């Protein structure tokens, strides 16, 4: 049993940024309960996927998010600066390829450069997680604890979590920050007393951004496509990948990645090996025979991740209003707030949304009025 002022549920970007923000305000009596053994949530790197070695030579490749847009995501840009992380522009120089149908060869067309540019973080997006984790008290982060139940037991909220062996633990806190997707909260956590019905429906109907997606990465010793004046970017109506980009580390290994267009429910019936073979064949069709012999390949299907996606996310559209952060009245008001990215008004679903929602959530629970820990 543990007693703290604040409990944070989830150690993705929102949860770790919440802890970092609390510590900056001198508030040190918090706990983060994380269901997985690996921190970062949807921010994931090839170095952590299956214990594989770091083939990038530069920190790993992104299995989840790769880009942010500092030109308009200013709070996120400030955080990246504050954490002293290097950034670089997504490689987009050269022509792109279009695969319109299976009976036509890929077409070459002039590529376009995003403006403002999509930026990447040196060492991969996981550097952001590492940097936040290094700046907080690691003893406050408890891994392998899936929160299952929240019980209002005045003057505290009791959080009941479960480890992989099914053993349960109780933690008590004055306030709770839900740093996970709203749909997962509604699907995985029970509340006593129950949340207001309207709020529960809103949370349930909020798609978890990118939870239905899968990403394939192939690593090469050099970016050979650039020799032919290609940017590494492609769009395909043939598949299995529909959108392909250069994922090379600036001074490390070269790589290409693609988002699969095969729907999640169909992917679940195909073996990973078959999907990987089809992706490799597509890279050869697009970029030539040098693509046939990658040094390493990775696939990450987010729809299969129980701590990210539910069945409802398999056919997600992302077309819904941003849900309320917390109950406006009743016992849970001022006790509970959502801080995961989907609660962001400005950048819902994005990395910058996790920062925005956390800032709003901390303000809504009046965290800045709490006295620093003694």
Ligand X SMILES: Cc1cc2nc3c(=O)[nH]c(=O)nc-3n(C[C@H](O)[C@H](O)[C@H](O)COP(=O)(O)OP(=O)(O)OC[C@H]3O[C@@H](n4cnc5c(N)ncnc54)[C@H](O)[C@@H]3O)c2cc1C
Q: Which residues of 288-327 are buried (b: 16+ CB within 10 A; e: fewer)?
A: eebbeebebbbbbbbbeeebbbbebbbebeeeeebbbbbb
Cα–Cα dist 254/5, whole Å: 46
184 binds ligand X (CB under 6 A): yes
Among 25, 226, 285, 307, the residue binding ligand X under the rule CB under 6 A is: 307
Which residue's CB is nearer to ligand X, number 243 or number 295? 243
Among 30, 61, 68, 257, the residue binding ligand X under the rule CB under 6 A is: 68
Binding mask 262-301 for ligand X (x = CB under 6 A): ----------------------------------------
Cα–Cα dist 186/207, whole Å: 12
343: DSSP letter: G
With a CB cutoff of 8 Å and minimum separation 6, the contacts of 14 are 41, 179, 180, 339, 340, 341, 354, 355, 357, 358
Which residue's CB is nearer to ligand X, number 106 or number 246? 246
Contact stretch for ligand X (CB under 6 A) within 48-56, 180-188, 286-294, 323-331:
180-188
353 binds ligand X (CB under 6 A): yes
126 binds ligand X (CB under 6 A): no
Report the sign of the C-alpha dihedral through residues 337, 339, 342, 343, in that order: positive
Binding mask 32-51 for ligand X (x = CB under 6 A): -xxxx----xxx--------
94 binds ligand X (CB under 6 A): no
Contact 284, 276 (CB under 8 A): no
Among 31, 66, 77, 217, the residue binding ligand X under the rule CB under 6 A is: 66
Phi then psi for residue 358, to 5 deg, are: -65, -45
Cα–Cα dist 109/167, whole Å: 57
CB count, 10 Å around CB of 102?
A: 10
Contact stretch for ligand X (CB under 6 A) within 50-58, 85-93, 178-186, 262-270:
178-186
Which residue's CB is nearer to ligand X, number 284 or number 363? 363
252 binds ligand X (CB under 6 A): no
Contact stretch for ligand X (CB under 6 A) within 9-17, 47-55, 96-104, 323-331:
9-17
Which residue's CB is nearer to ligand X, number 352 or number 370? 352
64: DSSP letter: S
Which residue's CB is nearer to ligand X, number 282 or number 358? 358
240 binds ligand X (CB under 6 A): no
Contact stretch for ligand X (CB under 6 A) within 62-70, 91-99, 165-173, 248-256:
62-70
Nearest distance from C-beta of residue 338 to ligand X, angstroms: 9
Report the alpha-carbon angle 144-355-85, nearest 5.
85
209 binds ligand X (CB under 6 A): yes
- Cis omega (within 30 of 0) on the bond before 214? no
Among 4, 56, 90, 188, the residue binding ligand X under the rule CB under 6 A is: 188
Nearest to 337 by CA among 3, 10, 4: 10
Of the CA atoms within 13 Å of residue 47, those in its CB half-sphere come to 17
146 binds ligand X (CB under 6 A): yes
Contact stretch for ligand X (CB under 6 A) within 31-39, 168-176, 216-224, 314-322:
31-39
With residue 176 as reference, give the H or E element that holds it: strand 168-178
| Binding-site ranges for ligand X (CB under 6 A) | 9-15, 33-36, 41-43, 64-68, 146-147, 179-181, 184, 188, 209-210, 213, 215, 302, 307-308, 340-341, 349-354
């Amino acid at each position: 049993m543990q007693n703290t002022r604040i409990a944070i549920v989830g150690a993705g970007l929102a949860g770790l940024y919440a802890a970092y923000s609390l510590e900056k305000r001198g508030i040190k009596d918090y706990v983060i309960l994380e269901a997985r053994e690996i921190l970062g949530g949807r921010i994931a790197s090839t170095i952590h996927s299956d214990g594989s070695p770091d083939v990038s030579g530069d920190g790993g490749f992104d299995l989840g998010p790769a880009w942010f847009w500092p030109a308009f995501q200013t709070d996120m840009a400030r955080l990246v600066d504050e954490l002293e992380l290097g950034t670089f522009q997504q490689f987009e120089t050269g022509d792109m390829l279009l695969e319109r149908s299976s009976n036509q060869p890929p077409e070459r067309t002039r590529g376009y450069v995003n403006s403002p540019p999509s930026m990447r973080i040196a060492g991969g997006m996981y550097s952001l997680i590492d940097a936040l984790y290094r700046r907080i008290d690691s003893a406050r982060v408890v891994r392998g604890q899936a929160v299952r139940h929240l019980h209002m037991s005045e003057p505290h909220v009791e959080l009941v979590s479960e480890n992989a062996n099914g053993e349960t633990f109780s933690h008590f806190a004055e306030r709770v920050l839900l740093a996970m997707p709203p749909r997962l909260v509604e699907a995985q956590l029970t509340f006593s007393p129950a949340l207001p019905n309207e709020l529960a429906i809103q949370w349930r109907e909020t798609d978890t951004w990118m939870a239905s997606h899968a990403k394939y990465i192939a690593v090469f010793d050099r970016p050979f496509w650039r020799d032919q004046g290609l940017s590494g970017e492609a769009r395909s109506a043939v598949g299995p990948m529909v959108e392909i980009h250069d994922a090379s580390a600036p001074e490390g290994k070269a790589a290409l990645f693609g988002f699969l267009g095969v729907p999640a429910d169909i992917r679940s019936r195909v073996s990973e090996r078959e999907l990987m073979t089809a992706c490799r064949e597509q890279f050869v069709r697009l970029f030539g025979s040098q693509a046939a012999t990658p040094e390493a390949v990775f696939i990450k299907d987010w729809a299969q991740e129980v701590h990210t996606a539910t069945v409802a996310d398999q056919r997600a559209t992302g077309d819904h209003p941003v849900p309320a952060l917390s109950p406006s009245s009743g016992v849970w008001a001022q006790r509970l707030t959502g801080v995961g990215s989907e609660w962001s008004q400005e950048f819902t679903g994005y990395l910058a949304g996790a920062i925005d929602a956390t800032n709003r959530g901390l303000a809504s629970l009046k965290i800045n009025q709490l006295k620093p820990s003694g």
